[in-house]
Structure 1
Amino acid sequence: MLILEDEEEEAVCTCVPNHESENEACAEEENYEAEVAGSSGSDSEHQYDESIQSGDEVDRFRRKRKADDSPSTGDGVVKKPFSETGVESCRNNMQQNNPPDLRHWLNKFVQWSPAERKVAIDSLIVRCAPDQVRHMMQAIEPLFQRDFISLLPRELALTVLGYLEPVDLFRAAQTCRYWRFLTDDKLLWKEKCRRKGIGPMRKRPSSMPDTACSWKAAYMRHHVIENNWRFKRSAETAKFLKGHDDHVITCLQFYGNKILSGSDDTTLKVWSANTGRCLLTLVGHTGGVWSSQMVGRIVISGSTDRTLRVWDAYTGACLKTLTGHTSTVRCMRLYKDRVVSGSRDATLRVWSVSEGKCLRVLVGHLAAVRCVQYDGRLVVSGAYDYYVKVWNPETAECLHTLASHTNRIYSLQFDGVHVISGSLDTSIKVWDVETGALKHTLNGHRSLISGMELRSNILVSGNADSTVKVWDINTGQCLHTLSGSNKHQSAVTSLQSNSRFVITSSDDGTVKLWDLKTGEFIRNLVTLGSGGSGGVVWRIRASPTKLVCAVGSRNGTEETKLMVLDFDVPGACLKCED
């Protein structure tokens, strides 16, 4: 759990030993005396001997330590005073128990070379009794328990602390005030956030403790949100958004704190994820909506009425109607002012959104186009003719036809370098987009590849066989199979992943959370009461703090609705993510 170090209780520094035992105090003092004795040759020998007899050097050592540990104004840091009891006791012992030849022995020792001193020390240890060796250990050990962080320049200290994990930094902040001052450094936490992909936090949630470092607060919020995904019972406080009657919700998207849903009832709706209120109903299609996308204030939708429509997401006005396809618009991909649509008429079309006209028609597939990807440079399409094609959208030229599947293509992923295709033939294939070469065939599923998501080199695939798999596309290796006793009991309908979790939904009426790195089942986020008897979770989409599920049934046992679960920190600003 997150350690909140911003409590008012003062922490006592435990880095410097408190020297309550006389042996530890003597060890500190003897170490200092050895440094003095070995630093200035024959002239120091007389001074050293005098200090042994008079105790002046011990007093100087004590004053030095007291000054070092006294309140400092350098960084506003107050340190605890050093205990004097052990030093006084050690001085008394030295004055009372000095052997008669100690002075001569020490004078002889300091005249030897470093190598000779090591031989002498080895010989001394061999001749010591066990209790004397134990005394040496007790005297030496405290010398290695110095607070070296406080002795380093601030830049070096921060470099050292930068290697610690954040949870260790939270613990280090409780050590002493100076460590707490260092662990609140802005650049230190900014780097931790960068590694996790955490952006700046514009406003601190009211439930979080105040901290001078906004980057540290952002990391703390991120940590709490992650724990909420793992443990918080959010289904009990979920919001239910109703508006598509008993129809199927066919497409779903999160954009900021807005939700876009499309249905076979011919409408689209824009919702507020914070309040659950329906902001807009987009009416105009005369057939069911099967594809949609929102970017900024633009919404694009494709329908069984063979058209695409361009909407203003703020006013709900239909800005353009794009006509030209001769059958259902099954898929689309929007990039800046261009949208590429795929249809059951076996063609793809490239449109200008602002002009509302068709720029190119991509002809080559022999059956319905089921999925399309577009990155502004290349178009990749998959169809029921078993082929994947790569196109130049500026010239309408087909650059590659990727032929290896033996059944319909149902899903595609494209990162600009790799094309990943999933098919009814149960295989997933990884292609090089520049050469069209097949790099890997990922086998392991036993049914239709119903959905995929690619992040960096990690691919997550869902299947009608109720299993989910995690792959490394660089090696073609299956890293995890998300199954076992907690696996779905029916086909996987939708999935989403990020750097930590995989979220999956199923015909069995459940939404499950898995650990991406280990493949372990974490928990059920949603369990419908009608699951197993008709209740279905059709689609899921997630933002960093929320999950929306499109719920319904095929036999009337479950009302059609959107279910929104919130995992954010209480008191977070609702406007920050709009």
Structure 2
Amino acid sequence: MTLHHNHKASLLTHRPKTSSAALDDASGHGGFNAHMKRTASQTFSAQHVDHGAYPQLASVQEGMMRVDYAPSHASHSSSLSRTGTVLKTGYKQICRRLSTSSSASSSASVPRRPSLSGLLDNPLSSRKPSMDVGRLQHHDSGMPTPTLADAAVTAVHSRFSSLKRLGSTRHRRPATSGPSGEYARYNPVPPPMPANYPVPPPGQAARAAAAAANNERLLQKREVEEQQQTRAFLSGTLLCSHDMDDVIKDSESGVGMQCSSPIARADSVQEKKFDPVQYLPAEIVTMVLSNLDAPSLIKTEQVSKNWYEAATSPHVWKHIFLRRFEPEVHVQPEPIMMGGAGIGKLDSRGKSAPGQDWCTMYKARMTINRRWKGCNPNAIYLNGHTDSVYCCQFDEDKIITGSRDRTIRVWDMKDYKCLKVIGGPSSRPQPNTPGPLEMHTQMVKNKPSMNGTREGDAIYQVPEDYHEASILCLQYDNEIMVTGSSDFTCIVWDITGSDYVPLHRLTGHSAGVLDVALDDKHIISCSKDATINVWDRKTFRRVRTLTGHRGPVNAVQLRGNLLVSASGDGVAKLWNLESGQCIKEFPSQDRGLAAVEFSDDAKYVLAGGNDHVVYKFDAMTGQLLYTSPKHGGLVRSLFLDAHNGRVVSGSYDQSIRIADYATGETFGTYENWTTSWILSAKSDYRRVVATSQDGRALILDFGWETEGVNTLIGS
């Protein structure tokens, strides 16, 4: 007992020294065996108890250790709680009792121990050992100590994790013999294992490990699914909420697990719902949603209230609308646009004005496109010219036409009234001209002629200079208009004011001027004399003359520094304006060419003529890409609306055809909407304006009374 009475009480009373420390201490305490080595289990207490046989005592011992090792070690006896004292005292008594019983059976063989994994897997099994530790009798009083057993069982419940930490001590085999008497408590021998001790069923540890692995896999799967949902939202591919619920439901039900027995989840995992529209900044949400197409955005509006507010934002619809419908500029100077762009109002810088209803505008454009595909336009007839109308051009405010009657007429695009008639004194129209003509059944407007009336006389204008022959061609921009005539000349007009004022007459051709083109730098004219003249727009000086065609040059088109021309000799040519050289030729399969178009990006050339077809050539290689189905007569007019993917052709067969730009396939044919040849046909996003030999201008309006169509008109 000198071990206990010669040392001052300490918090480390029940913590023995290690083997090396014990050897050093043996020289000072003769009652201690200098050659005895302590096992791993002895590092926790001076009295060793076989925790493998009695797992309930492990938690009691650990609880006692936690009291001994409490941080309040400055004052020893005063810092110990009442609970710690009771646990320590009870534990010493049990160890003393077990030591006595183990000495009596030290020579007996060690029975087979239960599996450690079984104890860990099912520590609270209802099948208890035959020896009830909770009913051990105190060796002094002989009275049962149920309170200590209850404390041990409660500790087992609350500290199941401590069994795993002390598991290594239960695997060590204690010595079968050792010191007896006073030192027996340092190496006690456990009592014999009861013969009827329950053995855990086989495979229980494997099933528990499989359950833990599957639970971990399901948690990782849910995390991956949440990350995929967020990633899909950021890339524009939205996962619907009901689909995500199905994924989570399948995950929680354990689909794909191969366990031999069902595994009940001890924890209730609360799924984390993350709404990116609610938490992300509005600018980022707008940027993400702007990358969707319109059908996806409409579906997005149905997700929730927050998503509806984000998806109906005018900023989002503005991006979607402009990405779909805003024309691209490929070359400089920018080519003259025919008609309107159909993208709403613009500010002073040419950018889209704020405050527009972009969603309504998108619906209107899509409705118009469906009417193009369904061949369902309405007809509007403009009467006033007294002879063939050879040429036309229009924008969102006006239409300008030139006729064989030697006059130029300006029409209001809103109410289709004739605003101005320009011609010489001898070209003034006579009353009751033209006479009534047949109209199509889908006619919605037929503006009568005002010729010979007081109102008609009021709008007739005789300028200082004018053409005295047929007006064969014209083109204008925001500042000037150029007209070409059978009188071999061109007139440049100032159209910035209400009165169209002639600025200069261009002379240099020896035959009628059949077509003109212009941009910011040049004015181009082609003639029946087989030549092309290039004029400086500022000085009206002729820069050069392009020669090489062997027949009348019927049409020209300008794109930057490149010019394409079509001639009655059956060849279309590509010219470099700086050098004046022909760099590519595009021959027809037969006869002459009457019309030509140059794509906005200068990659393709379209031509049509006497062989009744439309050709599409690659501008760089000269390769023929396709030939359209034949018209019933000469193709007199061509117009390419590349942005909307449409080619409009007018023919002497009195028809207007609409074809797909990419394939050349015809999807709309309008025959006999006029009573004679189609001489010119041009289009924009919603209408075709055509002129005929019967003296009328015809408008095929695919946007007639479409809801929201007025929101597409520019300022």
**TM bucket normalised to smaller:** 0.5 to 0.7
d(CA) in 1 for partners of 2:482, 2:250: 80
Q: Secondary structure, in 3 states, of the residue corresponding to 1:517? A: coil
Aligned to 1:223: 366
Give the superposition deviation at 1:360: 6.0
Match for residue 666 of structure 2 among 501, 521, 527: 521
1:64 & 1:529 partners in 2: Cα distance?
65
* Match of residue 649 from structure 2: 504
**Change over 3 Å in CA distance of 1:475–1:150 after alignment to 2:** farther
Q: Please list every run of 5 or more consecutive structure 1 residues that lacks an aligned counterpart in the other structure.
A: 1-41, 70-77, 100-142, 204-211, 290-312, 554-559
Answer yes or no: is the 8 Å Cα contact 2:617–2:625 preserved in 1: yes
After TM superposition, list the pairs within 5 Å mapping 1:130-529 onto structure 2.
Answer: 153=280, 164-171=292-299, 173=301, 183-198=311-326, 200-201=343-344, 214-234=357-377, 237-244=378-385, 247-265=387-405, 267-273=407-413, 275-278=415-418, 285-287=425-427, 316=459, 318=461, 320-322=463-465, 330-334=472-476, 337-344=479-486, 346-348=488-490, 364-395=508-539, 397-454=541-598, 455-457=600-602, 458-483=604-629, 487-498=630-641, 499=643, 500-524=645-669, 526-528=670-672
- What CA distance in whole angstroms lies between the structure 2 residues aligned with 1:282 and 1:575? 32
Shift of 1:409: 1.1
What amino acid does structure 2 have at the position aligned with 1:519? Answer: G
- Does 2:682 match 1:541? yes
Once residues 254 and 473 of structure 1 are traced to their aligned partners in structure 2, the CA distance between those partners, rounded to angstroms, is 27
Q: Which residue of 2 aligns with 1:21?
A: none
Shift of 1:228: 1.1
Q: Report if aligned partners of 2:278, 2:306 keep a CA contact under 8 Å in 1.
A: no
Structure-2 separation of matches of 1:358 and 1:277: 23
Q: Tell me the residue number matched to 1:557.
A: none
Once the 2 structures are TM-superposed, how far is the Cα of residue 439 of structure 1 from its aligned partner? 1.5
Q: d(CA) in 2 for partners of 1:529 and 1:213?
A: 36
TM-fit CA distance, 1:475? 3.5
Cα 1:264–1:147, aligned 2, differ >3 Å: closer, same or farther? farther
Q: How far 1:501 sits from its partner (Å)?
A: 0.5
Q: Report the 3-state secondary structure (helix = DSSP H, G, I; strand = E; otherwise coil) of the residue aligned with 1:221.
A: helix
Counterparts in 2 of 1:219 and 1:258: CA distance versus 1, 3 Å: same
SS at match of 1:489: coil
CA distance in 1, matches of 2:404, 2:507: 28
CA gap 1:174/1:282 in 2 versus in 1, 3 angstroms: same
Q: Deviations over 1:441-472 (max 9, x none)?
A: 11125233222233232333221221112233
CA contact (8 A) 2:424 2:462 kept: no
Distance (whole Å) between structure 2 residues aligned to residue 418 and residue 405 of structure 1: 17
**1:564 corresponds to:** 699
1:261/1:217 CA distance change after superposition, 3 Å: same
Indicate how the Cα distance of structure 1 residues 316 and 577 shifts in structure 2: closer, same or farther if over 3 A, else same.
farther
Q: Give aligned pairs, total.
A: 432
Alpha-carbon shift at residue 385 of structure 1 (Å): 2.6
Contact 1:335–1:376 under 8 Å retained in 2:
no
Structure 2: gaps of 5 or more residues: 1-160, 166-207, 230-239, 264-270, 327-341, 347-354, 430-455
* In structure 2, distance between residues paired with 1:463 and 1:415: 22
Q: Distance in 2 between matches of 1:414 and 1:183?
A: 42
Alpha-carbon contact 1:201-1:217 (below 8 Å) kept:
no
Cα deviation, residue 371, structure 1: 2.5
Aligned-residue sequence identity (percent) comes to 23
One-letter code aligned to 2:606:
V
Kindly tell me: are residues 171 and 472 of structure 1, through their superposed partners in 2, closer, same or farther at Cα, counting changes over 3 Å? farther
Aligned-CA RMSD value: 5.2
1:147, 1:475 → 2: CA distance?
A: 55
Using structure 2 for the length normalisation, give the TM-score.
0.49
Does the 8 Å CA contact 1:419/1:431 hold for their aligned counterparts? yes
Matched with 1:302 is: none
Larger Cα-atom Rg: 2
Which residue identity does 1:572 align to in structure 2?
G
Q: In 2, Cα distance between the equivalents of 1:388 and 1:169?
A: 51
1:351 shift after superposition:
6.1
**Residue 488 of structure 1: CA displacement?**
0.9
Cα drift, residue 168 of structure 1: 4.4
Q: 2: CA distance between counterparts of 1:79 and 1:577?
A: 40
DSSP-derived class of the 1:321 partner = coil
SS at match of 2:588: coil
Contact 2:659 2:666 in 1 (8 A): yes
Tell me the alpha carbon deviations over residues 2-52 of structure 1, each in whole angstroms, 9 at most, x when there is no partner: xxxxxxxxxxxxxxxxxxxxxxxxxxxxxxxxxxxxxxxx99x99xx99x7
**What is the CA–CA distance in structure 2 between the aligned matches of 1:160 and 1:391, rounded to whole Å?**
50
Verify the 8 A CA contact 1:340 1:349 in the aligned structure 2.
yes
- For 1:577, the equivalent position in structure 2 comes to 713
Is the contact between residue 431 and residue 440 of structure 1 (CA under 8 Å) also seen in structure 2?
yes
Post-superposition offset of 1:336: 5.1
Cα distance in 2 between the residues matched to 1:278 and 1:326: 21
Which residue identity lines up with residue 502 of structure 1 in the other structure? Answer: V
**What amino acid is the match of 1:469?**
Y
Indicate the SS of the match to 2:426.
coil
Deviation string, structure 1 residues 422-456 (Cα, Å, up to 9, x no partner) = 11101111111112121211112523322223323
Amino acid corresponding to residue 632 of structure 2 in structure 1: Q
SS at match of 2:463: strand
Contact kept in structure 1, 2:277 and 2:310, CA below 8 Å? no
> Would the aligned equivalents of 1:184 and 1:213 in 2 still touch at CA under 8 Å?
no
2:639 is matched by which residue type in structure 1? Q
AA of the residue aligned to 1:97: S
Instruction: Compute the displacement of 1:535 (Å).
Output: 3.6
Report the structure, 1 or 2, having the larger strand content.
1
Distance in 1, Cα, partners of 2:400 & 2:677: 19
Whole-angstrom distance in 2 between the partners of 1:164 and 1:79? 18
> Mapping of 1:30-49 within 5 angstroms?
none
User: Secondary structure in 2 aligned to 1:322?
Assistant: coil
TM-score calculated relative to the size of structure 1:
0.59
Q: Deviations over 1:216-264 (max 9, x none)?
A: 3323322221111111422xx423344446x322333323154334443
Deviation at 1:405, TM superposition (A): 1.0
Task: Assess, with a 3 A threshold, how the Cα gap between structure 1 residues 463 and 272 changes in structure 2: closer, same or farther.
Answer: same
Partners of 2:490 and 2:408 in 1: how far apart?
A: 23
